Structure 1
């Protein structure tokens, strides 16, 4: 009887998302090992993230938040065999996640997703099934019965990572033609730059582009669009939320959740990325962003911060991070 009461109390505590503190408290109190084993630290972490998402969604709905009519489910992969829905977010290891789902398909089966080249991945992506191909009843059924997973990343870090990938590190000609030339033409201050300055898009110019009312009205490209707009968290109500900051452990938990643990290898960062991380460079690039622009940028991505439990940073906080990477 005493154990039953303790179990009920534990469930109540978990419902309030007290996270790893609960595990520590139980260990200190010396409660039976069966209760400590009942909820692992990973399970508590996931419960915390899911509960906070649901709490924030309820708050936003009460504030009048609604989905845009133009939004669709084209980023949500569906695998009926493993009963999983997964929303891929560009610049959150999305190529490797797409590799995983391609590998799960019977006709492209492989335990090592890295056998698929990055360029091929986005061509083969069309072979996957997406949620927007289902009828409303079919969508509702999958929302109710499937594992619904999403991986997210600190929003301002993701913004810089997108800029770095499309305009800086790779000098992507498609993005330079579609966005870069326009950004330079509109936002480069011709009076303060040398006439011989033929460099690519500067990060300050990219931020100006993001803050422009016309850009916001037209809608962002998927690589810097809010993941709350790409993945509809307040409609889908994800029950698995992974984070880029704890990618390796969260991926392992996700593969375990869909019964693929040990069957699929998720590439480690060092195997495909040889440069400094965006986190290491964050304080450098945001130092050149004016305080008012920085504050306006955080306001644009405020929904992502709130829904996925990231602290909205001040410019001063980001500058402090520079010390960590010297």
Structure 2
């Protein structure tokens, strides 16, 4: 969660900020005047669910919304309306952000990977072509390589998150947002809590924001491991470098595997290694966020300027493949244990019943 000032004074921090609905996405801001809620959604940050949720706030009849493209005509505001709502402290301003490595991979898989079921999906490849200047699909490594050669990207699915919700000036007005949360496994509960006062809960909430469960989280982790491989740490550093401001503006902690990649590049004096200043900045953000959330690792810089990933004393760090194998065996053992318990209960019941019959 972003550590931000809770006050809503419109002082110099508001300054020259002006809402920006660039790249043709006029519905980046969704306004619900009745409930006084202003939501900024970003592509590839759960926006499909969020659009349905806030569409529900605009039109009370949820049945009228399609499961994929809800109607938001009443919620697509002009700049003047956004400006007014942003200045009014009675309005609840909200936005959710996502870990950049995960968001970039999600956008790539959604917009650049060939789909066997939709071979002529021109709309899908349109976004990929717009982002990377290619015709058709592109390999993940090539897409990352192209990030190194550009300073700006045109397609909103790949645009850094700090350039949405008002453009580059968002860092100056982020304190005006009452809800600023990272999209993670607990975000569904956070959204439900935020919207309780709007009477969007229970079955209606489940209809527009279904549970993903642990399988979704496991699949997401597996995809990260599949594409950000240990033998190509430069993929991690290149994506982090491109989305560096997202990490600093929203105070996002780097995942453990990302730190392993960055440290590895530094140890090898790779051309893709981040410089001292950026490493220290990311280190400070990660350590603060991890301490606040009791995450069990930290980053330290030694006297010789080497960075190290530290875990609690005595804790063993296992490779991904070993962890997955252990988890699988534990799952099998739990299933076997459950079966043994059932058998034991059944045998006890049969024995007890036989003793009762003998007494009779």
RMSD: 3.9
**TM-superposed deviation, 1:274:** 7.8
Aligned pairs for 1:289-304 within 5 A:
290-304=232-246
State which of 138, 141, 155 in structure 2 corresponds to 1:221: 155
Deviations 1:203-234 (A, max 9, x none): 11111222222xx34x3311121221112443
Aligned pairs for 1:24-35 within 5 A:
none
Deviations 1:141-180 (A, max 9, x none): 33x2211111121111010001111122646422424534
Aligned pairs for 1:55-134 within 5 A:
74-106=27-59, 109-110=61-62, 116-118=66-68, 120-121=69-70, 124-130=71-77, 132-134=79-81
- 1:220 to 1:274, Cα distance in 2 relative to 1, 3 A: same
Aligned pairs for 1:159-308 within 5 A:
159-168=104-113, 170=115, 172-177=121-126, 179-180=128-129, 183=132, 200-213=137-150, 216-217=151-152, 219-232=153-166, 233-234=170-171, 235-237=173-175, 238-245=177-184, 246-256=186-196, 258-262=198-202, 264-265=205-206, 266-270=208-212, 277-287=219-229, 290-308=232-250
**TM-superposed deviation, 1:278:** 2.9
- 1:289 to 1:224, Cα distance in 2 relative to 1, 3 A: farther
Q: Which of the pair is proportionally richer in helix?
A: 1
Query: Could you tell me which residue of structure 2 aligns to residue 153 of structure 1?
Result: 98
**TM-superposed deviation, 1:116:** 1.7
Find the residue that maps to 1:81 and give its secondary structure: coil
- Residues 204, 288 of structure 1: 8 Å contact kept: no
**TM-superposed deviation, 1:243:** 2.7
**TM-superposed deviation, 1:93:** 1.6
Unaligned runs of 5+ in 2: 7-11, 262-317, 326-360
Deviations 1:228-281 (A, max 9, x none): 11124432532112332122211211212545344533422449x989733321
Equivalenced residues, count:
246
- Residues 107, 158 of structure 2: 8 Å contact kept: yes
Separation in structure 2 between the aligned mates of residue 90 and residue 158 of structure 1, nearest angstrom: 9
Find the residue that maps to 1:145 and give its secondary structure: coil
**TM-superposed deviation, 1:78:** 1.1
Unaligned runs of 5+ in 1: 1-48, 56-60, 187-198
